[in-house]
Amino acid sequence: MTALRDFIERHPHLCVLTGAGVSTSAGIPDYRDEQGEWKRARPVEYRPFMTKPDVRQRYWSRSMVGWPFVARAQPTAAHRALARLATVRTLITQNVDGLHQAAGSRNVIDLHGRLNLVRCMECGHTLCRGEVQQVLLASNPQWADIEGRVAPDGDVDLDGRDYSDFIVPACPRCGGILKPDVVFFGETVPGERVTRAFAGVADADALLVVGSSLMVYSGFRFAEAAAAAGKPIAAINLGRTRADHLLALKVSEPCDAVLSALG
């Protein structure tokens, strides 16, 4: 803790990069174990979702059951501590739960989008996820009381279910495919977000990684950029990260406890 406090004090302009570990105590599971390996099957991928109706049935049925868990989630001690940390100039999050903003953080870059929005892939029309939830429930009342194990990407694991009778809503404006406004695996992060995130790293004195293994290149590239620019990197994360060889400091403890102890 002394070393971490010193790191923060010596770098008054911090860029913070967060991952699933900051939200686990809010009831939203993370993807990987302490060795950086998958805990469950990979999340839905972009191309199958866009091309296969049965994949969309599977996704939206699981999402309908899981959405209430995400909608009720509250900021954790880690979210609140980061919102209080005056040295944070830019906060890049790989999470899609919106909890950093709910905790009061400013200048947040939602690298992978937000789960509380849904976008039509044809006309670009956006809807609130809560509005889509009502349509899903009205169209599929037989699924309303189903329960499952909450998964990291805002849905639930429903092993062995038959999804063939699930009705997936279409865009109310054009009839196009509706997709949560998040970046699926195999999908490209919008260039504007990437540019802003790199600018946040360039503008900072140092990079602080919180609750991320950085196993996905989407986040790891910012650690690479910081290292290439000679900026020191610290990490608070349980277990291995892809950037361990780049770190000046690592605290292998739960995010909530470490960040709360900073005061």
pTM, 2 dp: 0.92
| Residue 32 pLDDT exceeds 60 | no
Q: What is the pLDDT of residue 251?
A: 97
| Residue 146 pLDDT exceeds 70 | yes
Tens digits of per-residue pLDDT, 123-143? 999 999 999 999 999 999 999
| Residue 250 pLDDT exceeds 80 | yes
* Residues with active-site annotation: 112
Q: What is the pLDDT of residue 156?
A: 75
| Residue 249 pLDDT exceeds 60 | yes
Q: What is the mean pLDDT of residues 1-26?
A: 95
| Residue 117 pLDDT exceeds 70 | yes
| Residue 154 pLDDT exceeds 80 | no
| Residue 39 pLDDT exceeds 60 | no
Q: What is the pLDDT of residue 161?
A: 82
Tens digits of per-residue pLDDT, 50-108? 999 999 999 999 999 999 988 999 999 999 999 999 999 999 999 999 999 999 999 99
> How confident is residue 35, by pLDDT bands cut at 50, 70 and 90?
low
Q: Does domain 2-261 have CATH number 3.40.50.2000?
A: no
| Residue 36 pLDDT exceeds 90 | no
Q: What is the mean pLDDT of residues 181-188?
A: 94
> How confident is residue 40, by pLDDT bands cut at 50, 70 and 90?
low
| Residue 232 pLDDT exceeds 90 | yes
The average confidence (pLDDT) of the chain is 92
Three-class DSSP labels, the chain:
CHHHHHHHHHCCCEEEEECHHHCHHHCCCCCECCCCCECCCCCCEHHHHHHCHHHHHHHHHHHHHHHHHHHHCCCCHHHHHHHHCCCEEEEEECCCCCHHHHHCCCCEEECCEEEEEEEECCCCCEEEHHHHHHHHHHHCHHHCCCCCEECCCCCEECCCCCCCCCCCCECCCCCCEEEEEECCECCCCCHHHHHHHHHHHHHCCEEEEECCCCCCHHHHHHHHHHHHCCCCEEEECCCCCCCHHHCCEEECCCHHHHHHHCC
Q: What is the pLDDT of residue 145?
A: 84
Q: What is the pLDDT of residue 126?
A: 98
Q: What is the mean pLDDT of residues 191-212?
A: 98
> How confident is residue 158, by pLDDT bands cut at 50, 70 and 90?
confident
Q: What is the pLDDT of residue 33?
A: 53
Q: What is the pLDDT of residue 160?
A: 74
